[in-house]
Copies of this chain bind each other. A is one copy, B any other.
Amino acid sequence: MAVYTEVTDADLAAFLADYDLGPVLALKGIAEGVENSNYLLHTEVGYFILTLYEKRVEEKNLPFFLGLMEHLSARGIVCPQPVRMRSGGALGRINGRPAAIVTFLEGVSRSHPDTKSCASVGEALGRLHLAGADFASSRANALSVDAWPHLFAEVFARADTVKPGTKALIADELEALARAWPRSLPRGIIHADLFPDNVLFLGDRVSGLIDFYFACTDDLAYDLAICLNAWCFEPDLAFAADKARALLSSYGRARALRPEEVAALPILARGAAMRFALTRLVDWLNVPPGALVHPKDPCEYLERLRFLRNVRDARELGFEP
């Protein structure tokens, strides 16, 4: 959303001395990602993204994220690929912040994805899960079922100011989720934030996946549930069954779902809606007055949650056996 840390020409020259990217032709701060400072970097060799990691991304996790993008790139997933320094490292420092350079991807994200786009993203997600299977590192999901009560505690007192009934809805659902959350589904690397913002298209083809800074190890079907929520509701928040069918069936062609994953889909979708409702509530209730950042409306995810809590069977979510 914003560039937080300024990079001067002198900072950049010092940083690039460790790379073989040739002279700088341009550097522009770009409004991408809310967690980091991102720059479009144009050098004689090509176009890149320079990222300075701000405090919300823990430095100890950076080797995981960068290693994952490299692993996935090597397996044909088009995602930002870290550029290595002459020393072999991919992580340096600018202005006291950890910093890395990744390749610049072509493509434009879709604000209102159609059914074809949903099919494309389903396939891309399935391929991502397969490609991540042999990635050696792992990272716990810090925003999964065990974390939700802590997030709720942060917003409990003011939750009903956002919409009356929010507190009761979340409290009820947290209980249900804790009781029913699946604990033995196939696990692996998940993107964990594959919203339309993070998928680039050229025509109907997915041209790249970006923003891997929530990636972690968790249930693969949970990642699918996150996508289902993010891609398969209309702007008026009606569930788009046709889009869901397209997304789930294309995913299934890339990676077949096991029966226990299908059975868990409704509860996973409820959990995914809870996760985004909660983090959006936290951001919404903590935005400084007059700030230029526009936090995302938590109500969109509370609405999904209200719909999903009444779903009992994956077929209601567009799954076709």
Residue numbers in B under 8 Å from A9 (CB-CB): 108-111, 201
Q: A25-B106, A288-B290, A289-B289 are in contact. Are A31 and B8 (CB under 8 A)?
A: no
- Shortest beta-carbon distance, A272 to chain B, in Å? 24
- Among B25, B106, B288, point to the contact of A289 (Cβ < 8 A): B288
Interface centre among A104, A108, A289 (most CB of B within 10 A): A108
Q: For the complex, would chain A's binding face be called helix, strand, loop or mixed by DSSP majority?
A: loop
A202 at the A/B interface (Cβ < 8 Å)?
Answer: yes
Copies in the complex: 2
Residue numbers in B under 8 Å from A24 (CB-CB): 108
A32 at the A/B interface (Cβ < 8 Å)?
Answer: yes
In angstroms, Cα B293 to Cα A293, docked, is: 10
Q: List 21 A-B contacts (CB under 8 A).
A: A1-B3, A2-B2, A2-B292, A8-B112, A9-B108, A9-B109, A12-B108, A25-B106, A25-B202, A26-B104, A26-B106, A26-B200, A27-B108, A28-B31, A29-B30, A29-B31, A30-B31, A30-B40, A288-B290, A289-B290, A290-B290
Interface centre among A23, A28, A104 (most CB of B within 10 A): A28
Q: Interface code A271-296, partner B: CB below 8 Å = 1, 0 otherwise?
A: 00000000000000000111111000
